[in-house]
Amino acid sequence: MLPGVPHLRSLAEVAELVEAVSPLYVRFSGGPVADAATVSQDHESGCLLPGLSVNPLTPEPWWDRKLEHWLARQLCQYAHLLAPDRYPWALTGEIAGRGPDCEPLLVSTTAVATIDQSVVDEAAETYEREFRAGAAGR
């Protein structure tokens, strides 16, 4: 948890925050203090990135499903990065470019909230229930 920012404990709380702060992103890392002391790097190429790799929590205009479904999908995309020293946190900032997976790279970031592990668990349950993971498109 970060002093001075809320600690969100449900997808509904994350949804409330997304409705109040836009655009909003999520990052799985050691937190803003740890990130301020490092430079993001593409692990496959070794290239230094011009910002922090994040995933959007604010849905795209074409999204016509529940906000919680978008959030579940976005949180699950990087949940594999969870570790004892890494957690999800919500932030805002300025897009400085795109990473190798076309993810936004943020600079001038501001931490808005931390996200509890229970939210990631709830997101995984929602994702499994609401989506056809791995379904091929046309």
Would you say residue 16 lies in a domain? yes
Phi, psi of 28 (to 5 degrees): -105, 110
Would you say residue 137 lies in a domain? no
**CA distance linking residue 18 with residue 11, whole number of Å:** 10
What is the number of domains present in the chain? 1
**CA distance linking residue 64 with residue 94, whole number of Å:** 26
Would you say residue 138 lies in a domain? no
Q: Which two tokens stand for residue 16?
A: 């409330």
Would you say residue 118 lies in a domain? yes
Provide the pLDDT for residue 63.
97
Q: pTM of the prediction?
A: 0.92
Would you say residue 2 lies in a domain? no
Provide the pLDDT for residue 79.
86
Would you say residue 60 lies in a domain? yes
For the chain, residues with pLDDT lower than 50 are none
Provide the pLDDT for residue 132.
79
Would you say residue 78 lies in a domain? yes
DSSP 31-87: -HHHHHTS--B-TTT-PBPSSEE-EE-SPPTT--S-HHHHHHHHHHHTGGG-BTTBE
**CA distance linking residue 138 with residue 136, whole number of Å:** 7
Provide the pLDDT for residue 84.
87
Provide the pLDDT for residue 5.
93
CA distances from 98 to 48, 71, 77, 136 (A): 12, 20, 16, 25
Domain that holds residue 122: 7-130
Provide the pLDDT for residue 137.
62
Would you say residue 136 lies in a domain? no
